[in-house]
Amino acid sequence: MAAGSARATSAAAAAVGLFCLLRPAAAPATPTPRAHLIYVRESGADACPDEEQVRQAVSARLGYDPFSPRAPRTVTVSLRRRAPGLAVHIELSDETGEVSGRQQLVSPRRSCDDLAPALELAVALAIDPLSAVRAATEVRAGARAGDATPPEAAAAAAAAPPPQAPVLPPEALPDSPPRRPTPSPPPRERTRVRLGGGVLGAFASAPNPTVGFELQVGLRETAWSMSFELRGDLPASGDFGGGRVTTELLALGLSPCLQFPLARGRIDLSACGLLVGGAQLAQGSGFGQSRAPVDPVVLAGVRGGLELPLRGRLSLLLAADLLASVVAPRLTVGPDVVWRTPPVSAAVGVALIIAVR
């Protein structure tokens, strides 16, 4: 038995030595940014690291800062409460929006102490698997540097492949180094310019419901957006006071919005303010004298929107407006007011949006 054990030990040691000799040396390379990070921490996951802490932790694991808003790939991380603990969903997509990989980690604990290291390592592996595995191997090797290990155990440890951390339970992942170098500050989220156009239906802003068009140009960041809009309502008619009233509207609008991601950041819900100003043509006929005054109109209100991604830079925006008349046009015949813009109106619309950069 002693001779067999000695032979096994010698064979294992020889195999490890041969592996070390045949393994090619890594060519030095300058690390470059490889992914744009979108980080969403929903209500109930406040115990988990914020975006800045995750950026620093991943940079420390890889040995360089891998994040750039202009990178062709995007890593989307969504943290949420999942009874009884927490869950994180990680998604890797290319510049066209095509998803190339997904990973979900779940922890039964609410403190995020075990989920945070798993999240950081999973993001690092998604961006740069070779650097992430190399860094994890160096940490394990450093932790074993002072231990006396039998030859059989050393051979087995050297020959074993590195663990695939993202598919393991969070408790099984290696701990992060106690001290992490501080990387350079992450780049600021870039502002996107967007163009759009669509159709709308208007209610109570004319003698009868009508349809119209809307063109817009705006700016968008992760948490907010701002758009400038041109609205035109087609003519609508109705009978009032023994005659007929026809109106049409042309106006400019300003809409600042707050954005709230849904469905792991794939859908955006928006809550907006809305200010509209323009001119309304109100034409009366059959009143004994014809009139066609052009009066100013000012509307103020709120908007709710739902934006759905289509493909690449295209998205579909569904919106509903509720508006109050600040300056309300009216049509008069002699001393009589035959029609006045109602105090409250509404509109619903659908628009196609494209991000131009």
Residue 76 lies in a domain: yes
For the residues of 152-173, what is the DSSP string, one character each?
HHHHHHHHSPPP-GGGS-GGGS
Q: How confident is the model at residue 137 (pLDDT cuts 50, 70, 90)?
A: low
Distance CA 316, CA 349 (A): 11
Select from 111, 139, 172 the last residue of a domain: 172
Q: Examine the domain organization and report whether 342 and 204 are in the same domain.
A: yes
**Does the pLDDT at position 332 exceed 60?**
yes
Contacts of 29 (CB under 8 A, 6+ apart): none
**Does the pLDDT at position 60 exceed 60?**
yes
Q: Examine the domain organization and report whether 207 and 350 are in the same domain.
A: yes
Q: Examine the domain organization and report whether 269 and 159 are in the same domain.
A: no
> Closest Cα partner for 244 from 350, 333, 137, 354?
333
Residue 198 lies in a domain: yes
Structural domain for 337, as ranges:
192-355
**Does the pLDDT at position 223 exceed 70?**
yes
Instruction: State the pLDDT at residue 265.
Output: 67
Residue 342 lies in a domain: yes
Q: Examine the domain organization and report whether 168 and 234 are in the same domain.
A: no
**Does the pLDDT at position 189 exceed 60?**
no
Q: Give the pLDDT mean for 7-31.
A: 41
3-state SS, one letter per residue, for 260-290: EEECCCCEEEEEEEEEEEEEEEEEEECCCCC
Instruction: State the pLDDT at residue 154.
Output: 41
Q: Examine the domain organization and report whether 226 and 341 are in the same domain.
A: yes
Q: Give the pLDDT mean for 194-223.
A: 93
Q: Give the pLDDT mean for 42-58.
A: 87
> What are the tens digits of pLDDT across the range 285-304?
777 665 667 889 999 999 99
Q: Examine the domain organization and report whether 200 and 326 are in the same domain.
A: yes
- Residue burial 189-209, b: 16+ Cβ < 10 Å; e: rest: eeebebebebebebebbbbee
Residue 42 lies in a domain: yes
Instruction: State the pLDDT at residue 32.
Output: 63
Helix axes 115-127, 51-62, angle to 10 degrees: 60
Most confident of 27-36, 61-70, 328-337, 344-353: 344-353
Q: How confident is the model at residue 13 (pLDDT cuts 50, 70, 90)?
A: very low
Q: Examine the domain organization and report whether 201 and 79 are in the same domain.
A: no
**Does the pLDDT at position 169 exceed 80?**
no
**Does the pLDDT at position 352 exceed 70?**
yes
Instruction: State the pLDDT at residue 92.
Output: 87
Residue 294 lies in a domain: yes
Select from 141, 172, 203 the last residue of a domain: 172
Q: Examine the domain organization and report whether 99 and 150 are in the same domain.
A: yes
Number of domains in the chain: 2
Q: Examine the domain organization and report whether 197 and 345 are in the same domain.
A: yes
Q: Give the pLDDT mean for 143-147.
A: 50
Q: How confident is the model at residue 83 (pLDDT cuts 50, 70, 90)?
A: confident
Give the CATH number, domain containing residue 235: 2.40.160.20
Task: Pick 153 or 236 by higher pLDDT.
Answer: 236
Contacts of 195 (CB under 8 A, 6+ apart): 216, 217, 353, 354, 356
Q: Give the pLDDT mean for 44-72.
A: 86
Q: How confident is the model at residue 86 (pLDDT cuts 50, 70, 90)?
A: confident
First to last CA, the chain: 72
Q: Examine the domain organization and report whether 232 and 295 are in the same domain.
A: yes
Q: Examine the domain organization and report whether 99 and 213 are in the same domain.
A: no
Instruction: State the pLDDT at residue 287.
Output: 73
Instruction: State the pLDDT at residue 234.
Output: 95
Q: Examine the domain organization and report whether 218 and 350 are in the same domain.
A: yes
Residue 37 lies in a domain: yes
Are 158 and 137 within 8 A, CB to CB?
no
Distance CA 133, CA 140 (A): 11
Instruction: State the pLDDT at residue 323.
Output: 96
Strand partners of residue 308: 316
| Mean pLDDT of the residues in the chain | 77
**Does the pLDDT at position 93 exceed 60?**
yes
Task: Pick 72 or 4 by higher pLDDT.
Answer: 72
Residue 201 lies in a domain: yes
**Which range (1-10, 79-88, 90-99, 104-113) has the least confidence?**
1-10
- Summary count for the chain: helices (H), strands (E): 5, 14
Are 54 and 41 within 8 A, CB to CB?
no
Residue 279 lies in a domain: yes
**Does the pLDDT at position 316 exceed 90?**
yes
